[in-house]
A and B are shown apart, each in its own frame.
Chain A
Amino acid sequence: MPEPKRITTPLTDQAVEGLKIGDNVLISGGIYTARDAAHKRMVEMLDRGEKLPFDLKGQLIYYVGPSPARPGKVVGSAGPTTSGRMNKYAPRILQAGSKGMIGKGEMGPSVAEALKKYKGVYFAAVGGAAALIAKSITANELVAWEELGAEAIRKLTVKDFPAIVVQDCYGGNLYVEGVKKYQRA
């Protein structure tokens, strides 16, 4: 395995162009948590022309619903949830300036198109490596919609968060190409 690439948020177009499927990366900086309910609200606000509670420009959205934090810890276990559930919302979030997302599992064709069109990148974190990932999270602050509980939007500050590029801005898809390479008759 080659040395991991280190990237820092917010991401620029140029940073996204430098990432290809299969790249092992360590992400540092701020990332924003959101899953089903928060996405629904964000997209409704964007469609009404309203301003979101945080600036999406260059940011990454992390699909996660952590376990409760123990006293003295900033977060509990915090591995990715299934990204496919956000297929309906992700293109609109990319259009509004986000540079990508972190989750697990393949995302749909409309998302692949949006990654190309708006220059975005989709990272997978290892599902079930939630304790390991939690160790890379150094701060956790509420951004909006506390009433959504585990689904509220939070800003996580991460240092060397481990992830793999699975769908890139060139239309590459590791879930398709990786499987092709290792399947046997």
Chain B
Amino acid sequence: MREVSVKDIIASVKELCIEANYQLGEDVEQVLEEGYKKEESPTSKETLSQILENVQISRQGEFPLCQDTGFAVVFVDMGDQVFVKDGNLFEAINEGVRQGYKEGYLRKSILGDPIQRKNTGDNTPAVIHLNIVKGDKLKIIVAPKGGGSENMSEVKMMKPADGVEGVKEFVIDMVRRSGSNPCPPIIVGVGIGGTFEKCAEIAKRALLRIVGSQNPNPFYANLEKELFEKINNLGIGPQGFGGRVTALAVHIETFPCHIASFPAAVNIQCHAARHKEAVI
């Protein structure tokens, strides 16, 4: 067994929260630049130019990309040879979030109770997805998720008879109904299969892929391409102002499913597609 101290986990999560909120991934920046070149609407071109300028200002480390610095969603791949010492893994992650949101001057957006709606004051708790993998490393991904795009997400328990056409219709309708709300241009995470909750989880995991990368299965890679074109033909455009760049990418992830089931999920991500990872 390899020992990993919670001190290192806290320090790592803290840094990742700050880095994710100030340093947009180069893959996202690159597709935004391509979008700027492609966009036909002058208003939307101006919008993309403001978004790109914002990326540069934020990178200097004084102002986060967006004032909505998100719910801290944390994915952990923990090697089966790792032993966490000096404390508890989940408590360490929450402590890292607490420190990162304070020291990074990030907005605290989490309410302790959904009905009473009182702010926890430190942006905890994090939403944590833990996976056990082979090895002696601990991989941590912090993906702060804003409320605007998260609100435009849905799981649908379709009928097996709905088939691939049903999935296409669901995804396109979801993006159309979302319109300007999720702050387009967006990345569309699609989960197909699994159970109700697994489907939503893989839709979210799809957002962690390098933007514009293809599903390794050619069938799904083609489906991604077809959905990408159809979504951009909706004309929603950056911020919903009308234009040719509505989606920066469509990412599909799948999971085996029950003979009676056919779940699909759409998780929309705004252009501030933030996630950073570290391996301890």
* Contact status A180-B235, CB under 8 Å: yes
* Contact status B240-A179, CB under 8 Å: yes
Q: Is the C-beta of B213 less than 8 angstroms from some C-beta in chain A?
A: no
B79-120 to A contact mask, C-beta < 8 Å, 1/0: 000000000000000000000000001110000000000010
Question: Which chain A residues (170-185) contact chain B, with CB distance < 8 Å?
Answer: 174-175, 177-185
Q: Is the C-beta of A76 less than 8 angstroms from some C-beta in chain B?
A: yes
B231-269 to A contact mask, C-beta < 8 Å, 1/0: 001111111111110000000000000000000000000
Q: Is the C-beta of A46 less than 8 angstroms from some C-beta in chain B?
A: no
Give the docked Cα–Cα distance between A155 and B16 (Å): 33
Give the docked Cα–Cα distance between A70 and B105 (Å): 7
Q: Is the C-beta of B183 less than 8 angstroms from some C-beta in chain A?
A: yes
- Nearest A-chain residue to B59, judged by Cβ: A131
Give the docked Cα–Cα distance between A64 and B106 (Å): 15
Out of B66, B107, B179, which one reaches A128, CB within 8 Å? B66
Give the docked Cα–Cα distance between A79 and B51 (Å): 11
Closest CB in chain A relative to B149 CB, distance in Å: 10
Question: Which chain A residues (152-171) contact chain B, with CB distance < 8 Å?
Answer: 162, 164, 166
Interface contacts (Cβ under 8 Å), in number, total 154
Chain B interface size, as a band, is: 35 or more
Out of A67, A124, A182, which one reaches B239, CB within 8 Å? A124
Q: Is the C-beta of A132 less than 8 angstroms from some C-beta in chain B?
A: yes
**Pairs of residues from A and B, 5 with the lowest C-beta to C-beta distance, nearest first:** A178-B242, A183-B235, A131-B63, A182-B235, A127-B183
Give the one of A78, A126, A127, A129 with max B CB within 10 A: A127
* Contact status A179-B234, CB under 8 Å: yes
* Contact status A132-B50, CB under 8 Å: yes
- Nearest B-chain residue to A162, judged by Cβ: B50
A115-147 to B contact mask, C-beta < 8 Å, 1/0: 000000000101111111011000000000000
Out of A64, A70, A184, which one reaches B62, CB within 8 Å? A70
Q: Is the C-beta of B174 less than 8 angstroms from some C-beta in chain A?
A: no
Q: Is the C-beta of B67 less than 8 angstroms from some C-beta in chain A?
A: yes
Give the one of A105, A124, A129, A150 with max B CB within 10 A: A129
CB neighbours of B53 from chain A (8 A)? 129, 132
Chain A interface size, as a band, is: 35 or more
Give the docked Cα–Cα distance between A77 and B104 (Å): 12
Question: Which chain A residues (98-124) contact chain B, with CB distance < 8 Å?
Answer: 104-106, 124
Question: Which chain A residues (39-73) contact chain B, with CB distance < 8 Å?
Answer: 64-70, 73
19 further interface pairs, Cβ-Cβ under 8 Å (given A66-B67, A132-B53, A183-B235): A67-B63, A76-B63, A76-B67, A77-B64, A82-B181, A105-B179, A126-B47, A126-B239, A128-B51, A128-B183, A128-B272, A132-B50, A135-B57, A135-B63, A164-B47, A175-B240, A178-B41, A180-B242, A181-B242
Out of A128, A164, A182, A183, which one reaches B65, CB within 8 Å? A128
Closest CB in chain B relative to A123 CB, distance in Å: 12
Closest CB in chain A relative to B38 CB, distance in Å: 12
Closest CB in chain B relative to A101 CB, distance in Å: 15
CB neighbours of B63 from chain A (8 A)? 67, 76-77, 130-131, 134-135
Pairs across A and B, CB under 8 Å, 24 listed: A24-B43, A24-B46, A66-B107, A68-B105, A68-B107, A76-B63, A76-B67, A77-B66, A79-B68, A82-B181, A105-B179, A105-B180, A105-B181, A106-B180, A106-B240, A124-B241, A127-B183, A131-B58, A149-B119, A164-B241, A178-B41, A179-B236, A184-B235, A185-B233
